[in-house]
A and B are shown apart, each in its own frame.
Chain A
């Protein structure tokens, strides 16, 4: 078994005349919290969408947990073990919080139409297990009291938590979060940080795309910095922070007289 859980290299993606990603790659060790940062329009979300199968890359090699996977369809990537959340939360709004998490169990369970119609013993046992696991996950992210509320009625921070619980329900090897702190206030950000630390401590590897540099620097074990679709720096946060290329990307070049 390789020491890397996720190993991606040579990703190219072009949208018409725009080379959105050129030769991008990253390697995530098991148990790490890995940050992917970069200024606006750097290609973070594009790269993220390529990893999770939403966009088909022009080229690139993808290895998850020692086996190559083809990010050709989103649901296959989820089956392979990468669960994601969305930058602009995408919950199943009319369904209750617990139902949202139960949907997350879909990919790890198997009852079909016959089981459902005949209410077989195995289907009922599975259903029971799904409900219990979903309840436990709601408790884990701290919103168990809202289990029976419609997802869309939850507060913004709680919706983020629910989305994470739903992703965790798929038993991912890698939890991929797209700007989870976007739009959160300072208190909510602290809460999120504690939650992510907790998840990481429980052995789940996390890939985090984030705008908030402070959050990334305090939380991540390693980061990759993208700019104009290229990797401009990679390393532990403290090093990356001092990297002149990174400073230039974020702040621009010092004026020369």
Chain B
């Protein structure tokens, strides 16, 4: 696994083991280092992990199977709203029979939520996949974009006549995640030592992210992953090899969506509040940018892309004002404007200088020229 991230370690089990240990240690200690700058830095790490999951999910659809999906945030929304509905007082408040069936209110265990959010998002993935099987390229992008908007608009308007989603007000009072009696929304005190809530979530998200990475890499190096890539490279040739292209595309949509669903459910639990505003088109575009800029189809690249594209604008938001105050004595450009400006600039620069992404899949050997081969 580690050799996918650090290729030189291939064939050196001891070094690979040591590197894994070091990385695990760094990841474990990271929230305490970030915490020195305040909890909001740990919170950023939490969100970065959610985006890594999203980007890896989209990577299956875009990177592996080559299907451009501009409505991916819809699956994030599906996961988030599923958790919001299953773990908040909302449904019980508006549907008396639910209140009667669950007198203590609706609550859901994380052991149920993670598989369920993956399954429901996968179902929506297939729902999207069915009508777009014959579409490619631009046309596929347009339809998926529309799908993303449809989901958001539904969430916005499903508050009457029956109030399912509470419309633009969103759903609040969502239960936090509880694992074995530990409430992740409260700080945990172990003797003298206190672990803040954001750090607890950090570990939960880290575990899920690692699981998503493992699944991604294992799928990539498998019969299924090769079939996806064959479909990406040449659909007709893939069919001629006996690959059922329709099923492979649906599987890609379903697998990709399931990661988004899990990430969405975690988002809802972490925030305690969801509203359609979190699932706008811009989110989909940012996730696509994470995959493309990181290195399509290459798991370490996509992870890097997600972290950077989330961290760059957030960091700029944090430092734009103090830096300007220091340099000019006043804030010349508002932090928010500067943030988008520099974000856009960094995208342009990356695409100009690294057109295949920041960390693309290692290029396989280029065939030596005829002379070299003979020599």
Q: Which residues of A contact B (CB under 8 A)?
A: 52, 54, 73-75, 78-79, 83-84, 86, 90-96, 99, 102-107, 109, 111-113, 115-117, 119, 123, 126-127, 130, 146, 148-150, 153-155, 166-167, 170
Q: Does B99 make an interface contact (CB < 8 A)?
A: no
The complex places the Cα of A73 from the Cα of B240 at a distance, in Å, of 9
CB of B238, distance to nearest CB on chain A (Å): 7
Q: List 25 A-B contacts (CB under 8 A).
A: A52-B240, A74-B240, A75-B243, A78-B239, A79-B242, A90-B236, A90-B237, A92-B237, A95-B226, A96-B364, A104-B241, A107-B243, A111-B223, A113-B219, A115-B222, A116-B223, A116-B224, A117-B219, A127-B223, A149-B365, A149-B366, A153-B365, A153-B366, A153-B367, A155-B370
Task: Assess the B255–A92 pair: CB atoms within 8 A.
Answer: no
* Binary per-residue interface labels of chain B (272-288) against chain A in the complex, 1 for a CB within 8 Å, 0 otherwise: 00000000000000000
B interface, over-half SS: helix
CA distance A233 to B240 in the complex (A): 29
Of the candidates A93, A130, A153, A154, which one forms a contact with B233 in the assembled complex, judged by CB atoms under 8 Å apart? A93
The docked-state distance in angstroms from the alpha carbon of A79 to that of B222 is 20
Which of B219, B240, B245 is within 8 Å of A83, CB to CB?
B240
Hey, which chain B residues are within 8 Å of A112, CB to CB?
Answer: 223-224
In the bound complex, CA of A113 to CA of B118 (Å)? 14
Assess whether B223 is in contact with A117, with CB atoms less than 8 Å apart.
no
* CB atoms of A146 and B367 under 8 A apart: yes
Cα A111 to Cα B143 with chains together (Å): 32
Set B239, B255, B366: member contacting A150, Cβ < 8 A: B366
Residue of A at shortest CB range from B255?
A113
The reply to whether A113 and B224 contact each other, CB–CB distance below 8 Å, is yes
Q: What residue of chain A has the Cβ atom nearest to residue B225's Cβ?
A: A116
Determine which residue in A96, A99, A127 has the highest number of CB atoms from chain B within 10 A of its CB, and name it: A99
B227: chain A residues within 8 A (beta carbon): 103, 106
Residues of chain B within 8 A (CB-CB) of A126 are 223
- What residue in chain A is nearest B244 (Cβ atoms)? A75
| Given A92-B237, A116-B218, also A154-B224 (CB < 8 A) | no
- The answer to whether A127 touches B234 (Cβ under 8 A) is no
Which chain A positions have C-beta within 8 A of B215? 117
Cβ distance A209 to chain B, nearest Cβ, rounded Å: 15
Interchain nearest-CB distance for B131 vs A (Å) = 19
> Whose C-beta in chain B lies nearest to the C-beta of A166?
B241
Say yes or no for B45: interface residue by CB 8 A criterion. no
Q: A103-B243, A153-B366, A170-B242 are in contact. Are A86 and B222 (CB under 8 A)?
A: no
CB closest residue in chain B, given A154: B367
**Measured between alpha carbons, how far is A99 from B218 in the docked complex, in Å?**
15
- What are the residues of chain B within 8 A of A106 when measuring CB–CB? 223, 226-227, 230, 241-243
Q: List 11 additional A-B contacts (Cβ < 8 Å) besides A54-B236, A103-B229, A127-B223.
A: A83-B240, A86-B237, A86-B240, A92-B238, A103-B243, A111-B223, A116-B222, A116-B224, A127-B222, A149-B366, A155-B367
In the assembled complex, the Cα of A95 lies from the Cα of B255 at a distance in Å of 22
Q: Which residues of A contact B70 (CB under 8 A)?
A: none
Residues of B within 8 A of A154 (CB): 367
- The CA-CA distance from A196 to B233 in the complex, in Å, is 27
| Closest A-B pairs by Cβ, 8 of them | A107-B242, A78-B242, A116-B222, A92-B233, A74-B239, A90-B237, A153-B367, A103-B230
Q: Residue of B at shortest CB range from A54?
A: B236
Q: Which one of B238, B244, B245, B365 contacts A103 once the chains associate, using CB atoms below 8 Å?
A: B238
Contact present for A111 and B222 (CB under 8 Å): yes
Q: How far is the CA of A86 from the CA of B363 in the complex (A)?
A: 26
